[in-house]
């Protein structure tokens, strides 16, 4: 019987783990320790927005809110608190551990020179409201979030995949999606270009870029066993001489003669 | 739909829509002036664009996915492939983010060398921008001149790290090498010549009728649009917002050097051109100061190049070769990778194109749990959706040119 491998997270795992090792934490500070951030947090709380958790980490405030409050919070931050730019918006896949995604909104205030991050947690199939009416930058960011994670976004004007092809199956940044791509990915281009009937002739696409087939004469040449491109490689074949052209070796490889070459010490600028 | 017959062949790039007289033009993804694999679907009324849909993803390599499957040091050369016109700035952004996550302080000499590399990369990127944009607009001479100067910068960087395009010249915790003996000399020769070269470009362009016609009052990005679309860097500064991360949230030694932030309130192509030119002069100014700072570290005998943090950073090569414990640490760090603390950072840096941010979520493992690359060009392409309508087809080329987009970092 084949050994069972967990499928919920197929990303690379640490090869060696010490069971007694406790990972250190990046220090979290109280929001009260920063005058500007505590004011912003107060403004959020005053607007009757539920703050689940708030702290300062690496000079930036992180605020956890409920997913249904995302538009109201961002609008408040933009209009009242001066956070005029949404630098980044994306998700973190927590499906295997917590059954959903953590969506974060990275905000920047140029007048206060402060950055803060609004975070909320949604279930795997739970939709989240689009914020592109507040920040146009969310238009593309939300498309990317849908494309990469399959997060469902409500009221987006042009919801379509952005990086992957429109007819792609699966969401590549999920932890369940293997690095080399899945079954669908292996046949995608073959089906698209040559048609399904050519599958047997062509075979699945090799999506492991590090793979080297030493008998492949299409893409690799072997020093000492020069074979025409695409020809069958025969291990019993006579070795190609590895000498210079002058010594009856490989044509076009000339020996280096120092007295005939010129060395430039300082380039003319 | 097209009615094709022998006399009217199928036009694969054009869709005729007779009902509202609107024509859909497919621009790219192999268009030479699209600066990479950009596909634009333009809805046209006569020659005027009424709707634009930039389509990206033709260079998508899944770097964020790769990052989740690599140890931190392994990912460094991958960052080169984002903005491949100025790769050290990508290396630097990643190194800084991991350093902040760990809480490392980099030695002073390493900081000076990093700043030199960053500013050289900025110059290289801006010169490349000038060359390609001028070529798109039709100024072949500027292209050839500018590529000549870019070559000298690439030579200097090649002397330092051995690579011309994908440098991987910065490590987490510092820099791997000290600059070589002739670096300062070469740099000075280049910098002394730079004003002369820039005067050549400006003489060719500033009063050039064609250049002015295609640049002035074309592609105006209002401040509102720039902020809303997340534009950063020269794109934002040309639209009247004085915001440079080097100045406002200084990293490395940018708070010790003197330089100005060029700003314009016009927001058009010409304003962006002027800002790129002014930024090149400011970069040269910073580089001169870096040369002095480097001499100072030599005087004070500050020779350290890598931070000392045995848990995360390998010891210097000499220690590894002579001390058993350093060798063991190094072995563990290379085979298993460092394990930063559990936490999250978002670290922005001012890359030549704008705000380059790295968001890292670490769960204490040797691989990042989530890494998000915030590349400026992504948003500078997005803004074309709102910017292009109202413009004419020839403007598209000059607008794409001045947005200075690089597809390595848009698609990542």
pTM equals 0.87
Mean pLDDT of chain B: 89
pLDDT at A75: 92
Domains annotated on chain A, with CATH: 28-154 (3.30.460.80), 178-210 (no CATH), 212-256 (no CATH)
Q: Do A163 and B243 touch (CB under 8 A)?
A: no
Q: Render pLDDT for B277-300 as a digit per residue (tens, 0 to 9).
A: 999 999 999 999 999 999 999 898
DSSP track, B228-279? HTT--THHHHTTT----HHHHS--TTTTTS-------S--SHHHHHHHHHHH
d(CA B242, CA B238): 9
Helices (H), B103-139: 108-137
Across residues A102-111, what is the average pLDDT?
93
Nearest Cβ partner of B346 from A16, A26, A106?
Answer: A106
Q: First CA to last CA across chain B, in angstroms?
A: 35
User: Looking at per-residue confidence, does B289 or A247 come out higher?
Assistant: B289
Q: Do B152 and A269 touch (CB under 8 A)?
A: yes
Question: Mutate which of A162, A164, A174, A178 to disrupt the B interface (most B C-beta within 10 Å)?
Answer: A162
Q: Let me know if A72 is exposed, middle or buried by CB neighbors in 10 A (0-12, 13-18, 19+).
A: middle
B206 Cα to chain A: minimum distance (Å):
25
d(CA A139, CA A230): 48
Q: What is the ipTM of this complex?
A: 0.86
Query: What are the phi and psi torsion angles at A18 (to 5°)?
Result: -95, 120
Q: Quick one: how far is CA B135 from the chain centroid?
A: 20
Task: Return residues 155-214 of A near B (CB < 8 Å).
Answer: 161-165, 172-173, 177, 179
Asked if residue A48 has pLDDT above 90, the reply is no
d(CA A51, CA B248): 29
Residue B154 parent element (H or E): helix B140-161
Look-up of token digits 């492991």: A208
Domains annotated on chain B, with CATH: 1-60+376-395 (3.30.390), 65-374 (1.10.645.10)
Q: Render pLDDT for B189-220 as a digit per residue (tens, 0 to 9).
A: 999 999 999 999 999 998 888 898 888 889 89
Q: Render pLDDT for B114-146 as a digit per residue (tens, 0 to 9).
A: 999 999 999 999 999 999 999 888 888 899 999
Across residues A201-217, what is the average pLDDT?
79
Q: Render pLDDT for B227-240 as a digit per residue (tens, 0 to 9).
A: 999 999 999 999 98
With contact defined as beta carbons under 8 Å apart, do A163 and B60 qualify?
A: yes
A231 Cα to chain B: minimum distance (Å):
32
Q: Render pLDDT for B355-410 as a digit per residue (tens, 0 to 9).
A: 999 999 999 889 999 999 999 999 999 999 999 998 998 889 899 989 989 988 99
Q: Do B225 and A136 touch (CB under 8 A)?
A: yes
Contacts of A60 in chain B (CB under 8 A): 345-346
């Amino acid at each position: 019987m084949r050994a069972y491998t967990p499928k919920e997270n197929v990303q690379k795992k640490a090869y060696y783990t010490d069971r007694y090792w406790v990972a250190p934490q990046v220090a979290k500070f109280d929001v009260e320790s920063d005058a500007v951030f505590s004011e912003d947090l107060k403004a959020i709380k005053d607007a009757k927005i539920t703050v689940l958790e708030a702290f300062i980490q690496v000079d930036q405030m992180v605020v956890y809110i409920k997913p249904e409050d995302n538009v109201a919070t961002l609008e408040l931050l933009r209009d009242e608190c001066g956070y005029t730019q949404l630098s980044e918006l994306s998700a973190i896949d927590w499906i295997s551990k917590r059954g959903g995604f953590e969506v974060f909104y990275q905000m920047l205030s140029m007048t206060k020179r402060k950055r803060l991050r609004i975070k909320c947690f949604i279930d795997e199939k739970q939709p989240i409201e689009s914020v592109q009416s507040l920040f146009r930058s969310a238009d593309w960011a939300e498309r990317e979030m849908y494309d990469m994670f399959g997060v469902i976004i409500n009221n987006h004007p042009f919801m379509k995949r952005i990086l992957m092809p429109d007819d792609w199956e699966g969401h590549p940044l999920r932890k369940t999606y293997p690095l080399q791509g899945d079954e669908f990915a292996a046949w995608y281009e073959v089906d698209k270009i040559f048609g399904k009937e050519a599958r047997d002739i062509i075979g699945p696409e090799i999506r492991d870029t590090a793979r080297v087939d030493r008998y492949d004469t299409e893409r690799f040449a072997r020093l000492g066993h020069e074979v025409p491109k695409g020809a069958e490689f025969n291990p019993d074949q006579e070795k190609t001489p590895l000498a210079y052209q002058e010594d009856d070796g490989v044509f076009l490889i000339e020996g280096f003669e120092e007295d005939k070459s010129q060395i430039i010490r300082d380039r003319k600028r | 739909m097209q009615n094709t017959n022998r006399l009217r062949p199928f036009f694969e790039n054009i869709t005729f829509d007779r009902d509202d007289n609107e024509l859909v033009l497919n621009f790219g993804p192999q268009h030479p002036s699209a600066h990479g694999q950009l596909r634009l679907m333009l809805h046209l009324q006569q020659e005027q664009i009424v709707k634009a849909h930039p389509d990206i993803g033709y260079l998508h390599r899944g770097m964020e996915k790769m990052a989740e499957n690599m140890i931190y040091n392994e990912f460094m050369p991958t960052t080169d492939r984002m903005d491949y016109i100025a790769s050290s700035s990508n290396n630097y952004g990643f190194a800084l983010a991991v350093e902040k996550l760990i809480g490392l302080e980099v030695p002073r000499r390493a900081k000076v060398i990093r700043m030199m590399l960053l500013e050289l990369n900025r110059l290289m990127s801006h010169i490349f921008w000038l060359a390609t944009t001028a070529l798109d607009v039709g100024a072949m001479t500027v292209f050839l001149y500018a590529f000549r100067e870019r070559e000298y910068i690439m030579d200097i960087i090649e002397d330092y790290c051995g690579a011309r395009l994908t440098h991987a010249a910065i490590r987490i915790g510092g820099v791997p090498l000290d600059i070589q003996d002739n670096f300062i000399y070469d740099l000075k020769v280049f910098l002394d010549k730079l004003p002369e070269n820039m005067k050549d470009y400006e003489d060719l362009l500033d009063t050039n009728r064609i250049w002015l016609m295609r640049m002035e009052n074309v592609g105006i990005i209002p401040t509102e649009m720039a902020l809303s679309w997340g534009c950063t860097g020269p794109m934002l500064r040309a639209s009247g917002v004085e915001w440079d991360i080097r100045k406002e949230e200084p990293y490395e030694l940018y708070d010790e050097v003197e330089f100005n932030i060029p700003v314009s309130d016009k927001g058009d192509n010409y304003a962006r051109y002027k800002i790129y030119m002014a930024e090149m002069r400011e970069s040269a100014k910073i580089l001169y100061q870096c040369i002095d700072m480097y001499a100072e570290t030599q005087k004070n005998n500050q020779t350290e190049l890598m931070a000392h943090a045995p848990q995360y950073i390998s010891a210097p090569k000499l220690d590894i070769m002579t001390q058993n414990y350093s060798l063991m640490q190094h072995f563990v760090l290379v085979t298993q990778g460092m394990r930063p603390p559990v936490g999250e950072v978002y670290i922005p840096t001012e890359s030549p194109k704008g705000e380059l941010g790295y968001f890292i979520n670490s769960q204490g493992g040797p691989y990042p749990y989530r890494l998000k690359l915030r590349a400026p060009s992504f948003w500078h392409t997005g803004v074309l959706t709102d910017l292009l309508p109202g413009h004419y087809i020839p403007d598209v080329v000059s607008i794409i040119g001045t947005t200075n987009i690089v597809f390595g970092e848009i698609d990542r």
